[in-house]
Amino acid sequence: MAAGKATPPGLKAARGPRGVIEALLAGADIQIGGARAQDIQVHDDRLYRRVMAEGTLGLGEAYMDGWWDCERLDDFFARAIAVELGRKLPLTPDVLWLGLSARLFNRQSPKRSWRVANTHYNLGIDIFEATFDARLTGSCGYWQTATDLDAAQEAKLELVCRKIGLKAGQSVFDIGCGWGAFMGYAAERHGASCVGVTVSSEQAAYGRKRYADLPIEFRVQDYRDYVGQTDHVVSMGMFEHVGPRNYRRYFQLARHSMAEGGLFLLHSIVGKVREDRIEPWLDKYIFPGGVLPTVGQIGRACEGLFVIEDFENFGVDYDRTLMAWWAKFQTHRAAISARHGERLCRMWDYYLCSCAGAFRSRTISVGQWVLSPLGVLGGYVRPKT
C-alpha cells in the first residue's frame, strides 16, 4: 500500500493463509482453537495453505487426514454454509474444471451413471447397516409423529403408499430402488408387486436375498434402459443423480412407464439456486455427478407430461434423519474403523454432518411431488398424516 496510509484492520487481520481463513470463519461465528462446539481445532498448520489452494475439497480431505477436528461438525457446517463460506474461497483448478465439465459434457450419461455405485453404493453393506434404519432406507425420513429412525422411515414409506393410493394387486416401478426398502414395504404391507432399477450390483444382490419370497424384481440397469409399464411409479433419493441435461428424458420415461390413471411420486432434494454440480468434496467422495434440481427445473421438465397434483416440503426432517444416521454410526464406529480404516470413518462423519448442516441452514430442502398423467378427476386430496 502507499506510504503513509494505514492498513485497514480487516485486511491486516487477513494477511497470510491463516489470516484469510480466520477472517472467513469469523463471518460464520467460528473460531480457530476456540472452546465452543462449532469452533475448529487445527492439528496441522498446513491446513491453511491447503484450503487456499484446494478450496472445500482440500478442507474435506484435510479432515479425512486428521489435520483438524470439531466437536460439532454439523453445527460448523450449518454456520459455514449459511454464509456461503465456500463461495468466498479462491477459485481452484478443480472447481473450475468441475464447473466447466458440467457445462460441456453430460456428466450423468448412461456410461457415466455407474460411477456413483462404484464410489458410494457398492461400499461394504456393513457401513450402511451401521448407519441406516432396519430396512436400509437411504433417503429422508418423515418425523411428524415418529420418535426414532425406524419409525420415521416406516412413516415415510407408508406416506408414499398412501399418496399414490396404492391398492393390493397393483404394480409399482421404483426408479432408483436402492436396497429395496420401498418395494419390500409396499409388497409386505399393501400387497403390491414391484420392479426396481439400480446401478448398484451390491444393492440388487442384497434386495434379491432379503425379499426372495416377495413379488419384487431388481434390475441392475440405467433407468433409461427400462422397458415396462406399471400402475404407479415412485422415485426416492435418485433424481439428484439425473442431471439437468436428462430431466426431460427422465420424466418422459416415467410417463411412458405408468398407466394413465396412475400416480407418480417423486421424492427429491432441491436447492434454492440452480447449479450445474454439487460441492467438489461430495462430488469426489460420495455422489459423483450429483446435481440438486430446483423446484422450477422440475416444473419445467414436467410440462406437457404431468399435472402437478401436490407438493410437500419437509426439508427440516432431513437434518434430523442425517443426525440419527450419524448417531447410529457412532455406536458401530469402532467395528467399522477396524474393518475399513479410520479415514473412511472420518469421511463418513464429514458426509453426514456436512449434509445435515446444509439442511439446517435451509439452503437446501427435500420435497415430494405427486404427479398424474391426465389430472385427478375432481382434484387430488393429500392423505392425512
Catalytic residues: 355
The residue among 366, 350, 362, 360 whose CA lies nearest residue 280 is: 350
Phi, psi of 53 (to 5 degrees): -85, -30
Beta strands in the chain (DSSP E): 40-42, 68-70, 171-175, 193-198, 216-220, 232-236, 264-271, 307-313, 364-372
Residues in the chain, total: 385
Rounded to whole angstroms, the Cα distance separating 234 from 213 reads 22
- DSSP for 68-111 reads EEETTHHHHHHHHHHTTGGGGSPP-HHHHHHHHHHHHS-TTSTT
Helix/strand/coil for 62: helix
In sequence order, the 6+-apart residues with CB closer than 8 A to the CB of 51 are 17, 21, 58, 59, 62, 89
Which contacts qualify for 361-364: CB closer than 8 Å, 24 or more apart? 361/77, 361/78, 361/79, 361/81, 361/82, 362/82, 362/315, 363/81, 363/82, 363/271, 363/272, 364/269, 364/270, 364/271, 364/272, 364/292, 364/315
Residues in Cβ contact with 75 at an 8 Å cutoff, skipping those fewer than 6 apart: 37, 38, 357
Cell of 370: 405427486
Inter-residue contact 314 to 142 (CB < 8 Å): yes
* Strands 264-271 and 364-372, sheet pairing: antiparallel
